[in-house]
A and B are shown apart, each in its own frame.
Chain A
Amino acid sequence: MDINKKGDLCLTVVGIDISQSELDRAPVGAYDETICADIANVHGLADGDLVLCQAVLEHVQDTEGAMRSIASLLKPGGKALIFVPSRNAVFARLNILLPENIKRKLLYAVYPSARAAQGFPSFYHKCTPDDFIAMAKQNGLANVESRYYYISSYFSFLFPVYLVWRIWTVLFKFIAGHQAAETFSMVLVKEA
């Protein structure tokens, strides 16, 4: 968040996170209000114009609850922008299968820069495009835009592995369409 731009646009920015220390790491003035809570249990006042959620929901066990919370934060016509890795991605499946300490060691060994932002426990509960659209609909959110992405860098450290993964992603896309996406983003609008 660019503080100057925030001021120029007269935004009121509310940060919500399960960790107060994570919120405290934001630059001074970034948030006008902070809510330290599990996003799956937030009861909003339906006064938000925009909820932005980037690579968060894969870390939430109760994704349905999180979608309910998002809907509760938005006023009618308000939008939620969501970016999330898909449960169907190979890296997500590995993430679910591998023990936490082993995958963290592997990740940090190959990609040391990931230490700052990655390595949180992930569940990918209902993290597929179709599940998201269904959960959104259940909570009065209409999907108005979707973008699907078919790349992730986890396997690029060893080209032969990357090549096998690439062949799989191309075949999977051919078979399953957008459900084969590695990551996806959506724009959801709260219906009046």
Chain B
Amino acid sequence: MDCVDVSGMAGKGEQKMNLLRSFINANIKLSKWFDRQFLPSYFVKDGNKDFIFEMAPSYLRQGIKYMMSGEGSSLLWISTKKAIYA
């Protein structure tokens, strides 16, 4: 069986993917810029981040930086049983 050098083909494929990735990233940046320029702040507030970094810690009262990245906790429920409220 003849051997076929696929390294060049793989390189081209990777190049195309990188190009596509750059195109997508540029569009994402443009979308963010548009929001910042033309919309009030409440339109651009990220709910997920607000929940994790602001809402949840504020209800714990003691300033925990509450991280829920989704890794290992993407379907997470937490019930804290001890009295952490006054």
Contacts and interface: CB of A to CB of B under 8 A. Distances in A.
Contacts of B50: 147, 149, 185
A19 B85 CA distance: 30
Contact of A81 (B45, B56, B70, B73): B56
Contact of A147 (B55, B59, B82, B84): B55
B75 interface: yes
A158 B27 contact: yes
A22 B55 CA distance: 24
Contacts of B83: 49
A94 interface: no
A158 to B, nearest CB: 5
B47 interface: yes
A9 interface: yes
A39 B78 CA distance: 12
Given A116-B71, A162-B31, A162-B34, A51 B78 contact: yes
Contacts of B14: none
B78 A1 contact: yes
Contacts of A56: 75-77
Contacts of B69: 117
B80 to A, nearest CB: 5
A150 B42 contact: yes
Given A47-B81, A159-B27, A184 B75 contact: no
A9 to B, nearest CB: 6
Contacts of A155: 31
B64 A12 contact: no
Interface string A143-183: 00101011101011111001100100110010000000011
16 contacts: A2-B65, A2-B66, A9-B64, A12-B82, A15-B77, A17-B77, A44-B79, A47-B81, A52-B78, A116-B71, A120-B74, A153-B31, A158-B24, A158-B27, A169-B43, A187-B55
* Closest 7 pairs between A and B when the two form their complex, measured CB to CB: A149-B47, A117-B70, A25-B72, A156-B31, A183-B47, A48-B79, A83-B51
